[in-house]
Each structure stands twice: as C-alpha cells, then as structure tokens.
A and B are shown apart, each in its own frame.
Chain A
Amino acid sequence: MQNELGADNLQIIAVAIDEDVEKVKAAAEGINYPVLIDAQHLLSELYGISNVPTVVMIDENDRIARPNWSASGNDAFREFSGIDSDRQHDRIRRWVREGDAGTTEDEARAAVPDYSADDEAAQLHFRVAAELRRRGDDEGAARNFDRAAELAPHDWTIRRAMLPLRGEDPFGQGFFDLYGEHQAAGSPYRGLHGY
C-alpha cells in the first residue's frame, strides 16, 4: 500500500505494541516504511488502543480523520500492516486520493472512550510488571500483571501481551480462554469495526 499510495502523499507508520525486539525485527524485514517498537505501550495510552491490529488515519495537519479502526468479524489482517479486504483498501484509497475518510466528526469523536482511572492504572501496572520481570523480580512482575489484568480485563494490549511475558503461549490455551471471555463480554473494542 505504501508503494501504491506513497506518490499520493500517504505515509504508513507501523508501530509494534510489543516487547519482543527480535520478533518485530523479523516482521519488519523488507518493509519500506518505518516499523517502530513501542515496548512500553505508549500508544495504548495516547490513543486508547485496546487491541491490535488497529489503524488510525491521520491527516496532513495532525487531525484524526478516522480513529482506532479494526478489521470486522473474522477478517484477518493479511500482514500486520495490510488490510485484507478490498473495501477497507477502498476506504483508505478514497481518503488518500480524495481527502474523504467517510467518517463524520461526531462518529470519530464518539468512537473511542477515554481511559478511566482503572484503565490508566492498568497500563502503569503493566509497565511496572514488565520492568520487574526484566530485573528478575518474578513475584513483583506477577503481582503487577495480575493487577493490570483485573483493572483492564478487556484490553488485549494488556491481557494478551502479558502471556509471553509470563511464559505462556499467546497462541495457546491462555489465548483461547481470553478469546472466550472476550466473546462472552460482547467482544468490546475501543474504536470502529467494519469497512
């Protein structure tokens, strides 16, 4: 998409909300736009991102043309930066070429709820946990991961991101359990679904 729309003044910026530098490096192989690493989940907090992949469309003047946007239903993003469906591509093309993101201001403003105090605390506990883990304080890490999970049970940048940091497979049973819990809660997502 960068190749297709670069000449029309689009710049893709991919950000991994992720601690695993090696895995991100591998994923960034051959990519012709910046692939950045957000190990401390700054973007989760700044943009209220609760799951990935999430796309935010930002115009030339730093206005958010279309906020936190996820693939709908069971659509999988083909690559971490790609958007699988033609309809999603079309929306992006229309925005880049015609300046129309097809999103009203009201819709955009209503899309992402602000962080509650619990959401804020959850992010902080996650960071503390990750740091304590780095320092070899496993008990301190567990204490803080547990608290983060309690405070933000539907934030996957917390619940799922912590699985590999706790020695669990993010594609294994822990993930399935999380997915089931998430679905039972109505699959909450902070942002826009669909095409």
Chain B
Amino acid sequence: MTNDLALIDDGPLINTDALPESLGWALKDEGLCRDDRCVLVPDRDALTSGDMIDVTAVAALLDRPALVDETSGLVAVGAERGQRRAGINQLQAPDFSLPNAAGELTSLSEYRGRKRLLVAFATW
C-alpha cells in the first residue's frame, strides 16, 4: 500500500538514514526501494550530499509532487502521479487506506470482489 502522503520536518535535506521513516523508501545499491519495488537512481550525486538526501529530488524520482515551505522548513510530498492518472485516464481506481474515528484502517482493496460506492463527504 504505497498511496500515502508525507510531511517532513527540517527539509529538504534530511539524513539519508531517516528516509525510510520519513517517506517509506530506502536508498539502496539497487536504487530507491520500498517493499518489493525499486526505482533506479540515474544520478546519485544529484540526490545526496554526504549523509544527507534531498527529499524533493527523491519525490521527483518517485513522480510525486513536493513542496518546501521555506519559512518553516516543512516539506509536503503528495501521492504518486501515476496512481492519480491511472484513475483519471485509465479508470483504474487508486487504492487507499484510511482510518475510521476509532483509528481502525480500512482500504479500498479490502473489498475487492464487491462493487464499491465511494462516497466522499465533509462536515463543512
């Protein structure tokens, strides 16, 4: 389940060791890896500087939008563009996992095999 979002403190350069905790991906010899997926890193030097890694460069490689709020140092990383586009253009419903009020997670894919009516609402 890789459709998640991230808010990272004191970015965009963070400790490379902190990358898995911050973004769920690790920098390995094979590239950027998460679960059984790896993404090739064509230019490692563009990503890292000593012990540090640029999360916005990582986001770009993962094709995820990213934003740095300079004043606070907070970095926001969005969802994979490929997932959104697969939904909008190819009608492949992006999976997601969200909590109920009690904190219990439910995912769309949990109900695969059933027709699902996704109803987005708000109290505002």
Interface residues of A (CB under 8 A from B): 1, 9-18, 20-21, 23-25, 27-28, 34-38, 40, 42-43, 45-49, 52-65, 67, 77, 80-81, 92, 95-96, 105, 108-109, 112-115, 117, 120-121, 123-125, 127-128, 131-132, 137, 140, 143-144, 157, 160-161, 163-164, 170
Please state if A127 and B100 are interface contacts (CB–CB under 8 Å).
no
A99 to B119, CA, bound (A): 19
Instruction: Compute the total of residue contacts between A and B using a CB distance below 8 Å.
Output: 214
Please state if B109 and A27 are interface contacts (CB–CB under 8 Å).
no
**B72 CB → nearest A CB, Å:** 5
**A53 CB → nearest B CB, Å:** 5
B residues within 8 A CB of A96?
Answer: 115
Interface residues of B (CB under 8 A from A): 3-5, 7, 65-67, 69, 71-72, 74, 76-79, 83-85, 87-96, 98-101, 106, 108-109, 111-124
A residues within 8 A CB of B124?
Answer: 18, 20, 160-161, 163-164, 170
**B90 CB → nearest A CB, Å:** 8
A157 to B121, CA, bound (A): 10
Q: List 9 A–B pairs whose Cβ atoms lie within 8 Å, in order of A's numbering.
A: A10-B115, A11-B117, A13-B111, A47-B120, A49-B120, A53-B120, A54-B119, A58-B93, A143-B71
Please state if A46 and B3 are interface contacts (CB–CB under 8 Å).
yes
Please state if A114 and B101 are interface contacts (CB–CB under 8 Å).
no
Please state if B67 and A46 are interface contacts (CB–CB under 8 Å).
no
Q: With A81-B121, A117-B65 given, can you name 20 additional A-B contacts, CB distance below 8 Å?
A: A11-B115, A11-B117, A13-B108, A13-B116, A13-B118, A15-B120, A17-B121, A37-B101, A42-B96, A47-B87, A53-B119, A55-B118, A56-B117, A57-B117, A59-B115, A62-B93, A95-B115, A109-B88, A121-B65, A124-B67
**A54 CB → nearest B CB, Å:** 5
Q: B124 — nearest CB in chain A belongs to which residue?
A: A170
B residues within 8 A CB of A35?
Answer: 100-101
A residues within 8 A CB of B83?
Answer: 46
B residues within 8 A CB of A53?
Answer: 119-121
Q: A79 — nearest CB in chain B belongs to which residue?
A: B121
A residues within 8 A CB of B108?
Answer: 13, 58, 62
Most buried by B among A47, A92, A143: A47
Q: A18 — nearest CB in chain B belongs to which residue?
A: B122
A53 to B120, CA, bound (A): 5
**B61 CB → nearest A CB, Å:** 16
A residues within 8 A CB of B109?
Answer: 62
B residues within 8 A CB of A127?
Answer: 5, 7, 76
B residues within 8 A CB of A117?
Answer: 65
A78 to B35, CA, bound (A): 43
**B74 CB → nearest A CB, Å:** 5
